[in-house]
Amino acid sequence: MNRPAEIAIRKGKATAPFYAAASALHAYLTTLSTEALLNENGRREQIKLNDGRIGTIAVVIESENEGSLFVVVQGFLPGKLLWFIKHAYVDGFRKLKDGTVVELESDELYGYD
């Protein structure tokens, strides 16, 4: 991920395991073949932090024209002091038919956070 505003959010020690798990899942998905990626659609993981909060990380995969896949990893973690505020992780990539991975831009992720 190369979006500076989101990097600044990750500086908190309490939320670091949540963002690390979401980033690791994103990195893992980029290594999979197109066929294997299709099996990951709808995958959900829960991460329990030391302070008791439970974050959810989900995978959304959409088929695009010409055999490419649109892959989004999205995660939500409730705020510690204000329950109605959530930390969000959203990142994704496009897996082209030839296996090339192209990271998504922020505007392509609109609607997933």
How many CB atoms within 10 Å of residue 31? 9
In 16-103, the DSSP E strands lie at 44-48, 54-63, 69-78, 86-95, 101-103
How high is the pLDDT of residue 65? 82
Which of the four pLDDT bands, split at 50, 70 and 90, describes residue 5? very low
Q: What is the mean pLDDT of the chain?
A: 86
- Model confidence at 11: pLDDT above 60: no
From the list 40, 37, 45, the residue with the least C-alpha distance to 20 is 45
C-alpha span between 96 and 99 (Å, rounded): 5
C-alpha span between 108 and 91 (Å, rounded): 10
How high is the pLDDT of residue 113? 62
pTM above 0.75, yes or no: yes
Query: What tens digit of pLDDT does each residue of 62-78 get?
Result: 998 888 999 999 999 99
